Amino acid sequence: MRRCERGALVSFGQEKPMTTEQICEAAMALPDESKATLAERLVAHVVSNMDPEVERAYLDVATRRRDEVLSEQVEALMAMP
């Protein structure tokens, strides 16, 4: 079972706000395609609000790792399905 951050409250026009755990549980009940769409939207939101210094650090690491693979300093592994 996947766990979500506890304690945060979110209200979507409901009388009683939902906790992060309740939102997570509802999301896990969605069909896989809907989960994928939700995940894409959440990641896009987080990335669009990312601190430029953090984004630069991520890009630096990704570039370094790409260069290590291309120069055969390391071997790329296939992702598990």
The rounded average pLDDT for each run of 10 residues, N- to C-terminus, in the chain (81 residues) is 52 74 93 94 88 90 94 87 71
pLDDT computed for residue 79 by the predictor: 80
Terminal alpha carbon distance of the chain: 19
**Predicted pLDDT of residue 14:** 59
What per-residue confidence (pLDDT) applies to 1? Answer: 41
pLDDT for res 6:
55
Distances (CA, A) of 62 to 11, 30, 56, 67, 68: 37, 32, 10, 9, 10
CA distance 42 to 25: 16
- CA-based torsion, 23, 26, 32, 38: positive or negative: negative
